[in-house]
Amino acid sequence: MVIIKSKAEIELMRKAGRVAGECLSEMMKLVKVGVTPNEINQACHEWTVSRGYTPAPLNYNGFPKSLCISVNDVVCHGIPDNREFQDGDIVNLDVTPIVEGFHGDTNATVFVGKVKPEAEKLVEATRISMWKGINQVKPGATLGDIGHAIQSYAEKQGYSVVLEYCGHGIGKGFHEDPMVSHVGKPGQGLKLRAGMTFTIEPMINLGQRFVWEDQKDGWTVRTRDKSLSAQFEHTVLVTETGVEVLTLREGEVPLA
Ligand code: MF3
Ligand code: CO
Ligand code: CO
């Protein structure tokens, strides 16, 4: 059942989204050659709890850390470890603070040192594909419109879209209805209504779309062909007239 948020709930979602964006901004600044994911995890944990908030990933279905960190061919749900970031890595940081009972969920892919042009192009195309999806959001548009905008842009650039992991409704729950696919056909699927809050978080691969989940840790998702994968995520609100990006960061320019 898709939840339509009340005015009061929307105010709390605005606050959760703002906090999530601030947290992500601070963590993005820490990614450098020689730094480890565990150091970012500790910083994220402290940033969040010192302000009286809770990192939703920690102990979520047994996830052991306070954010996901997904490097290079890791598609999503990477578990922070002690491998130092290396020059040329692409690193996704995915944070989800719980603020006064409501979740804000956002991620971005950043560069370590100087990355290859093919990696830079993939990351930029992924960011643009997320914005193509966001810009479809308004009352009366459909989930298929969002998926189609993302898929058609990414595939036109020669990339592939991961099917197994989706955006999601969000609020008091981390993952609420509906599932928000990053592929689709215009006009198909659920019709959007004002007061819905959900994420848009495309995972785009340089090679084939196929992925596998590590059975040893139960979380890490990698590309089958070991090609690079990038992701960006925002939490959005459907307004009476269009969209409000709740996790927009200071200085981040929305793509028209
Ligand atoms: N933040 C992820 C998302 O965008 C979910 C991570 S679940 C976790 O939906 F348990 F791995 F943290
Ligand atoms: Co999410
Ligand atoms: Co997320």
Question: pLDDT tens string for the chain (256 positions)?
Answer: 999 999 999 999 999 999 999 999 999 999 999 999 999 999 999 999 999 999 999 999 999 999 999 999 999 999 999 999 999 999 999 999 999 999 999 999 999 999 999 999 999 999 999 999 999 999 999 999 999 999 999 999 999 999 999 999 999 999 999 999 999 999 999 999 999 999 999 999 999 999 999 999 999 999 999 999 999 999 999 999 999 999 999 999 999 8
Q: What does the pLDDT look like over 70-108, one tens digit per residue?
A: 999 999 999 999 999 999 999 999 999 999 999 999 999
Whole-number Å distance between alpha carbons of 89 and 255: 25
The domain in which residue 192 lies consists of: 7-245
Would strands 203-205 and 68-71 be described as parallel, antiparallel, or unpaired?
unpaired
Our count of domains for the chain comes to 1
CA angle 67, 73, 79 (to 5 degrees): 25
Other CB atoms within a 10 A radius of the CB of residue 151 amount to 24
Whole-number Å distance between alpha carbons of 18 and 248: 7
CA angle 96, 200, 210 (to 5 degrees): 100
**Residue 211 domain-assigned (yes or no):** yes
Nearest to 7 by CA among 213, 240, 252, 243: 240
Distance from the alpha carbon of residue 198 to the mean position of ligand 2, in angstroms: 8
Amino acid at 101: G
**Residue 165 domain-assigned (yes or no):** yes
Residues 6+ apart with CB under 8 A from 226: 73, 207
**Residue 164 domain-assigned (yes or no):** yes
**Residue 2 domain-assigned (yes or no):** no
Residues 6+ apart with CB under 8 A from 130: 150, 200, 201, 202, 232, 233, 234
8 Å CB contact between 16 and 52: no
Average pLDDT for the chain: 98
Distance from the alpha carbon of residue 68 to the mean position of ligand 1, in angstroms: 7
Q: Which residues line ligand 1 (CB under 6 A)?
A: 57, 60-61, 63, 68, 77, 94, 96, 105, 199, 201, 233
Q: pTM of the entire structure? A: 0.99
**Residue 251 domain-assigned (yes or no):** no
Q: What tokens were used for 80?
A: 């922070």
Distance from the alpha carbon of residue 168 to the mean position of ligand 2, in angstroms: 6
**Residue 253 domain-assigned (yes or no):** no
3-class DSSP state of 15: helix
Distance from the alpha carbon of residue 106 to the mean position of ligand 2, in angstroms: 7
* Protein residue whose Cα sits closest to atom 11 of ligand 1: 77
Please list all protein residues whose beta carbon sits less than 5 angstroms from ligand 3, which is an ion: 94, 105, 107, 233
Q: What does the pLDDT look like over 129-142, one tens digit per residue?
A: 999 999 999 999 99
**Residue 101 domain-assigned (yes or no):** yes
Which of the listed residues 63, 79, 217, 220 should we mutate to test ligand 1's pocket, taking the one with most ligand atoms within 8 A of CB? 63
Q: Which long-range contacts (CB under 8 A, 24 or more apart) does 9-13 make?
A: 9/102, 9/171, 10/195, 10/197, 10/237, 12/99, 12/100, 12/101, 12/102, 13/102, 13/104, 13/170, 13/171, 13/197, 13/235, 13/237, 13/246
Query: What is the total residue count of the chain?
Result: 256
Distance from the alpha carbon of residue 159 to the mean position of ligand 3, in angstroms: 21
CATH number for position 205: 3.90.230.10
Q: Given the structure tokens 């598609």, which residue do they identify?
A: 75
8 Å CB contact between 171 and 13: yes
